[in-house]
Amino acid sequence: MSQQNPLELAKQGNPSAIAALINRNLKPKGVTAKVSRKDDCLRVMLEANEVPNQDSLVELIRSGVLKLNVSGINTLQIFGRQADDEVPVWSQIINLKAPQPYPT
Note the pTM of the prediction, 2 decimals.
Answer: 0.87
Q: Which CATH architecture has domain 6-95?
A: 2-Layer Sandwich (3.30)
Give the CA count within 13 Å in the CB-facing half-sphere of 89. 15
Residue 26 has pLDDT above 70, yes or no: yes
**pLDDT per residue over 42-88, tens digit each?**
999 999 999 999 999 999 999 999 999 988 899 999 999 999 999 99
Going from N- to C-terminal start, the domains of the chain cover 6-95
Tell me what pLDDT residue 80 has: 97
How crowded is residue 85: how many other Cβ atoms within 10 Å of its Cβ? Answer: 10
